[in-house]
Amino acid sequence: MNQYDLKGQVAVITGGAQGIGRAVAERMIASGAQVALWDMDLELAQKTAAELGDSAHAYGVDVRDLDAVAAQAACVAKDLGQIDVLVASAGIAGPNATVVDYDPKAWAEVMDINLTGIFNCCKSVLPYMVERGYGRVVNIASIAGKEGNPNAGPYAASKAGVIGLTKTLGKEHANQDIAINCVTPATANTRILDQLTPEFIDYMLSKIPRGRFLEVEEAASMITWLCTKDNSFTTASVFDLSGGRATY
């Protein structure tokens, strides 16, 4: 395993109690960082933090609530002294249905968590990075945001929005030593699969040339590197984690 240097840094990781978020937290702690696990499920976040050790700290956060996100960002800055890194990993798949049959309430929930949630987190955390003149942000998009998936229109639309938002933010903060990038994973081997029908899971697997789903440790490796000082030039960019599926 490659060694990264995050000594003395503080990372906020949304959706940090499980899945890709937890894997990133483990990798960042191994790299010397303190991590703030933000999750809607505070009890699970506390359980994860206890398992990860003294460098992990649990916070209950609903990323849909801008005021709550801003308040917790202030708490992290006070509790841990600073915020150097944001990994915006919280997200949901939503139900599988065609766009014409999609429940508008389900559409709104997917957009609120996957896209507005990342807007809220970036809006709340970036001022602390601007003040210090340094920061690293990685937003978790999806290959669906590039290529679309049938029967998952809101998910694809929300992740396409994450890509556009990331490119905008990266350009807005490019002269401040704040790198803002996103990754586009194919389907990962996480509990998000529980939200999908077996038919849709089979469809997603059939689209990946490597013939398997992404492992969270593979995602954590790329994401953690993007959050290091070594990533000193690249910003407003999209990094492929699709197992060969991406066509652009």
Active-site residue set? 155
Listed residue (113, 200, 190, 204) closest to 155, CA to CA: 113
In terms of Cβ atoms closer than 10 Å to its own Cβ (0-12, 13-18, 19+), residue 52 is buried
* List of long-range contacts for 102-106, beta carbons under 8 Å, 24+ apart: 102/153, 102/154, 106/154
Residue carrying the six token digits 């066509």: 247
Six-digit token pair at 125? Answer: 């955390």
Which parts of the chain fold into alpha helices (H)?
A: 19-30, 42-52, 66-80, 104-111, 117-132, 144-147, 153-172, 198-206, 216-226
In one letter, which amino acid is 187? T
Q: Which residues contact 147 (CB under 8 A, 6 or more apart)?
A: 156, 245, 246, 247
Give SS3 for 185: strand
